Amino acid sequence: MIHDKILTNVGYRSGRAKQILVTGGAGFLGSHLCERLVNAGHEVLCVDNFYTGSKRNLTALLDSSRFELIRHDITFPLYLEVDEIYNLACPASPIHYQYDPVQTTKTSVHGSINMLGLAKRLKARILLASTSEVYGDPEVHPQPETYWGRVNPIGPRACYDEGKRCAETLFFDYRRQHNLSIKVARIFNTYGPRMLPNDGRVVSNFIVQALTNEPITIYGDGSQTRSFCFVDDLISGLVRLMETPDSLTGPVNLGNPAELEILELAQLIIDMIGSKSVIDFKPLPTDDPKQRQPDIAKAKEELDWAPSVSLHDGLTKTIAYFENLLMADELV
């Protein structure tokens, strides 16, 4: 079994508790990853500059002796002693990464250089949380890892898209030049508890608007497609990728291949909440992809991984999270 190969990987320290650095660890994905790693018995150093991350996401971990939180921006060097690095630091929603596009690019490029330098010094394994945005507005559907993408290098999304593409370049150059142990995950649309209410992503947008009976904002005619992976499944994929043999560098697509139209998602959320919201159509933003669906054949074969949480079950948990924020008057 592939999973047995992962657990018995010779020469890799996967059979004991490790010291693990998670950059962007106070964010949506990062906080779930920190929690998973601490619960597995590892010591976790969480680094975040709190641009989009929040201490509230880490409430369950702050009293743990195996968890430490450090306020730091990875565009500046960081000196620590760890066994592994998960590099998740970077705003991932258009509202946040377009607010300061130069800083977004610096986080992907300078931040990766700093974390790769740290990994090189420590001889530590390092994983990059890359993105499906490296495929841009794709001409190939669904998108396999062999597809090079169709990205506008001077558009308003380029700070994130090209920043992540450059980060991938740096990871593979460090691999070729310094024989660094790297892993690259291309993360497709992920949702779940701890998403920011105001991050501009469709799941959080639609849920907040439906809960408050505001119009559901759809850009374009709603026929564009996305594929949504629940956060617990995504974190399992990241951990499994980190535990694979050194020869498997990636990139590996991690996402849910179940595709649906944005208009279908909006109607599903309205029905699940019982909302009185109506649909408000607005112009499609520049360079917004028309289709997005991962080919996860490589993840299935190499990681023995595939998402298991249904969209309905994942949305139920996510809606409950935002309902609690609404009751606590924290939907800001």
- Identify the DSSP state of 315: H
Residues in Cβ contact with 157 at an 8 Å cutoff, skipping those fewer than 6 apart = 94, 98, 133, 286, 287
As beta bridge partners, residue 69 has 46
147 part of the active site: no
Q: What is the spatial distance between Cα 227 and Cα 122, in angstroms, rounded to a whole number?
A: 37
Residue 291: both structure tokens together: 């289709």
Query: Which listed residue (160, 191, 219, 321) is catalytic?
Result: 160
Q: What is the spatial distance between Cα 287 and Cα 134, in angstroms, rounded to a whole number?
A: 13
Residues in Cβ contact with 328 at an 8 Å cutoff, skipping those fewer than 6 apart = none
Element (H, E) at 39: helix 28-39
Give the DSSP per-residue string, 105-159: HHHHHHHHHHHHHHHHHHT-EEEEEEEGGGGBS-SSSSB-TT---B--TTSTTHH
Q: What is the spatial distance between Cα 168 and Cα 253, in angstroms, rounded to a whole number?
A: 13
As beta bridge partners, residue 127 has 86, 183
Catalytic residues: 160
